[in-house]
Amino acid sequence: MLEGLRFLGEWRSLLFGVLIIVVMIIRPSGLLKASLGMRGRLNKAAREPEYRRDQAKSGTTDEVHHA
């Protein structure tokens, strides 16, 4: 695709910048859902210890122990 824009020369950088600004206006939360992006992964990691602590209090675990 960039090869097709070669005729624009130096205008290509300006066009790329405008495109990024348009995407930021149209999709302020990003191109991906939060659960798919880094923010979603970090949120899941932050919630995981709490989930494990709740399991420990209730006495249930998903772990399988082999002898």
Domain ranges of the chain: 3-58
Residue with tokens 């990691």: 45
pLDDT of residue 65: 55
* pLDDT value, residue 19: 93
Exposed / middle / buried, residue 39 (Cβ in 10 Å: 0-12, 13-18, 19+): middle
Q: Report how far apart the first and last C-alpha atoms of the chain are (Å, whole number).
A: 59
Mean pLDDT of the chain: 71
State the DSSP code for 32. Answer: S
**Position 21 pLDDT exceeds 90:** yes
30 contacts 37 by C-beta, under 8 angstroms: yes
Stated pTM of the model: 0.41
CB 17 within 8 A of CB 27: no
pLDDT category at 40 given cuts 50, 70, 90 is: low
**Segment 7-32 mean pLDDT:** 86
Residue 64: which pLDDT band, with cuts at 50, 70 and 90? Answer: low
